[in-house]
Chain A
Amino acid sequence: MRRRQADIATDPDAFEAFYRRHVDAITSFLARRVADPNTVADLVAEVFVAVLDSAHTYRPGRGSEIAWLYGVARNTLSAERRRAFKETRLADRISGRRPLDSDDLAELEERIDAESLARRAFEAMAGLPDGDRAMLELVVMDQLSVSEAATALGIRQGAARARLHRARRTLRDVPEMAPFVLEGMR
């Protein structure tokens, strides 16, 4: 298993299989958080570049591939938001000019539309403490299990549960959260 993951960063075919397995999930993940099709397309590229950089951090024993990948995507997104890394900025400057054809745009816009409720819910969550919000995002919006979300964030399950509980309690009565909090309560 460890071997297979390592191959993703060095074997183009293994990477292609991994990419095809997850590219749609990552696109939706980003469309829940970003409303601009060009930015979503660029971030998809950035996330998979980050996969190459951090493939060695994946430990198959500790959670699913998607949980790990969502963790990578979260880090990429916050790096992008902070723009803390020069390298990221440079890649962005180039990938920011990646051409999208009309089919690409249509597909991305459809996805972004489909996630509009989610993006509104994200705004409602903005006031939560970072850690609590992260748990709520991953479990309620991205449909990870609690243990997967704990993996993505690199925290213990107990801590994850506590954060999730606090976040849900805080946002219990916020209307934007209604479609999500309930779903997550099942």
Chain B
Amino acid sequence: MNYKEHVLMELKAEIVARNQTRRTRVRRRLFTGVAVAGIAAVAAVAVPFLSGTETPAHAVTRNTDGTITLKINEFRDPAQVEKDLARLGLTADVSYVKPGTRCKPGRGDTSDGPSFSKEELASEDPAIKKRIREAIENSPNGKAFKLGRGEVRIDPRHIKRGQTAVMEFTENEDRTSGPDKPRALWQFGGYLVTGQVAPCKVIDDPSWDKMPDPKTNPEAYPPAGS
């Protein structure tokens, strides 16, 4: 899709999301003093989980369309993220790993994701790259995870019973970057595992220092079954 349309779409979604938060806030004010159960019901719409004194490390929100927004401000305490997602009925496995490393692939049954040959993945042919990107976008994996502004949107409708939403985040501690210093600041990988999920075994990731090919930028999407 044209990036201008892509940006427009994200921003319109952002407006809708902000309108909802605003309404929630108003409602919460109106219901102050009502029975505790009533407040809990409202709180379930948007619950920021505070784990620090300043900004929350992360926030988990259930949207009216059934999707779940995970906003991460600080890359710490993945177990709490899992707990907060579980409260919204989502089984998740969250790992934070250091730059230059990644979780060893093969943590479980990812047969629900698209698969490609090594040749296809290494290909520079724009047509093949496009096909790979589309296959990822159209798979349950691709539909279950979307990257928005500062957040990951998870759509449980594309996650079957018995599947776990596995998310791997990598963050660069040095957050400086710019036109003269192009580098990866963070990376997200999300995929679905059916059945048991093996713990994240950290291995080296030599591809970290390489900037993704902007033509396809596959890291913007859940890696194919990796």
For residue B138, give the distance in angstroms from its CB to the closest CB of chain A: 15
In the complex with contacts A97-B212, A99-B217, A100-B214, A12-B73 CB distance below 8 A = no
B2 to chain A, nearest CB (A): 6
Instruction: Indicate if the CB atoms of A16 and B12 lie closer than 8 Å.
Output: yes
Is A93 in the interface zone, CB < 8 Å from B?
Answer: yes
B9-21 interface bits toward A, Cβ cutoff 8 Å, 1 = contact, 0 = none: 0111011101100
Asked whether A37 and B149 contact (CB < 8 A) given A9-B15, A12-B15, A83-B176, the answer is: no
Interface hits, A25-56 → B, CB 8 Å: 34-39, 41, 44-45, 48-49, 52
Q: Which chain B residues lie closer than 8 Å to A83 at the CB level?
A: 175-176
* Inter-chain contact A103/B2, CB cutoff 8 Å: yes
- Interface segment out of the listed A84-92, A124-132, A153-161: A84-92
The distance in angstroms between the C-alpha atoms of A50 and B129, with both chains bound, is: 33
A116 CB-CB contact with B under 8 Å: no
A92 cross-chain contacts in B, Cβ below 8 A: 177, 185
Please determine whether B18 and A52 come into contact, CB atoms closer than 8 angstroms: yes
Determine if B214 and A38 form an interchain contact, defined as CB atoms under 8 angstroms apart: yes
Contacts of A123 in B (CB 8 A): none
Q: Cβ of B150 and Cβ of A94 under 8 Å apart? A: yes
Contact partner of A90 among B1, B10, B73, CB < 8 A? Answer: B73
B4 within 8 A of A: yes
**A38 CA to B161 CA in the complex, in Å?**
38
Instruction: Take A16-B8, A45-B10, A93-B185 as given contacts and tell me if A52 and B15 are in contact as well, using a CB distance cutoff of 8 Å.
Output: yes
Q: Does A105 contact B (CB under 8 A)?
A: yes
In the bound assembly, the distance between CA atoms of A45 and B10 in angstroms comes to 9
Contact residues in A for B220 (Cβ distance below 8 Å):
97-99
Q: How far is the CA of A174 from the CA of B55 in the complex (A)?
A: 48
Whether B123 is near chain A, meaning CB under 8 Å from some CB there, is no
> Which A residues are CB-close (under 8 A) to B2?
101, 103-104
Tell me which residues across on chain B come within 8 A of A104, comparing CB atoms.
2-4
A52 to B13: give the CA distance in the assembly, Å: 12
Check A34/B179 contact, CB under 8 A, given A45-B10, A48-B7. Answer: yes
Whole-angstrom distance between the Cβ of A80 and the nearest chain B Cβ: 8
CB pair B149–A49 under 8 Å, yes or no, is yes
B126 close to A (CB within 8 Å): yes
Residues of A with C-beta under 8 A to B10: 45
Is B215 interfacial (CB-CB < 8 Å)? yes
Tell me if A122 is interfacial: C-beta within 8 Å of chain B.
Answer: no
Query: Is B182 in the interface zone, CB < 8 Å from A?
Result: yes
- A15, A37, A39: the one contacting B11 at CB < 8 Å is A15
Knowing A89-B175, A92-B185, A101-B1, say if A44 contacts B215 (CB, 8 Å): no
Q: Which residues of B contact A49 (CB under 8 A)?
A: 11, 14, 149
Q: Measuring CB to CB, which residues of chain A are less than 8 angstroms from any residue of chain B?
A: 9-12, 15-16, 19-20, 23, 34-39, 41, 44-45, 48-49, 52, 80-81, 83, 86-87, 89-105
User: What 9 additional pairs, Cβ within 8 angstroms, besides A19-B11, A86-B73, A100-B217?
Assistant: A34-B179, A39-B179, A41-B7, A45-B149, A48-B11, A94-B149, A97-B217, A99-B133, A101-B2
Give the 6 A-B residue pairs with the shortest CB-CB distance, closest first.
A99-B217, A97-B220, A12-B12, A93-B186, A93-B185, A91-B150
> Could you list 25 examples of A-B contacts with CB < 8 Å?
A9-B18, A10-B19, A15-B15, A16-B8, A23-B4, A23-B7, A34-B179, A35-B179, A36-B182, A37-B214, A44-B3, A45-B7, A52-B14, A81-B178, A83-B175, A87-B150, A92-B185, A93-B150, A94-B149, A94-B151, A96-B177, A96-B186, A97-B188, A99-B6, A101-B2
